[in-house]
Amino acid sequence: MAPDFEQESTEGTIRFHEWLGDSWGILFSHPADFTPVCTTELGAVARMKGDFDRRDVKVIGLSVDPVASHRGWSADIAETQGAALNFPLIADADRKVAQLYDMIHPEASATATVRSVFVLDPQKKVRLMLTYPASTGRNFDELLRVIDSLQLTEYRKVATPANWQHGDEVVILPSVSDEDARRLFPAGYRTLKPYLRMTQEPAVSMEA
């Protein structure tokens, strides 16, 4: 389970689980305000907000600086990135959330968070954790790809193969019997091995 917390943010006090509601979520941390790579990352996520909304994913950033600092930094993001912050940025000045989520690597810095990502499902279970080096900006298209894969598994009983992209075939979950597979995938499927059955990507409508 993703730990719950209450913390200040650029959009007021956040009670994390309540704020997530029944949505999917992405929580991602930054080493500090006014750092170059983070500035580009927050701009990128702001420009992709519609992509996250369409997938029912709420995004929230975190940096270990106070709200006043976040506000000053937001102005720089709007000025340089072609998009203003349109999601909350947690002001984790007391590092409460950073410690709860183990976002501080003591051998990298005693105080600054590393570049962590947590993807949460609507039951608030952590479905993915990533840790990037501070000097490497994250690939948010890859996070969308993972969300699409998780939602295909959750709602359509398929998994996604190596390097999968939309339009590629998907893998029928091994837990689905052949009888159920014929019903669930009426367009058919290919059996390469009894445990390796490929089918066309089904549409996702967020219903199990």
Compare residues 21 and 36 and give the one whose CB is closer to ligand BEZ.
36
Q: Which of 7, 19, 26, 31 binds ligand BEZ (CB under 6 A)?
A: 31
Residue 38 known to be catalytic: yes
Taking CB under 6 A as the rule, does residue 37 contact ligand BEZ?
Answer: yes
- Determine the interface stretch with ligand BEZ among 29-37, 123-131, 169-177, 193-201 (rule: CB under 6 A): 29-37
Structure tokens at 179: 């009888």
Output the smallest distance, CB 103 to ligand BEZ, in A.
Answer: 14
Q: Which of 2, 26, 38, 171 is catalytic?
A: 38
Taking CB under 6 A as the rule, does residue 104 contact ligand BEZ?
Answer: no
Q: Which of 123, 135, 163, 205 binds ligand BEZ (CB under 6 A)?
A: 135
Compare residues 91 and 120 and give the one whose CB is closer to ligand BEZ.
91
Taking CB under 6 A as the rule, does residue 42 contact ligand BEZ?
Answer: no
Taking CB under 6 A as the rule, does residue 34 contact ligand BEZ?
Answer: no
Instruction: Kindly list the catalytic residues.
Output: 38
Q: Which residues bind ligand BEZ (CB under 6 A)?
A: 31, 35-38, 134-135
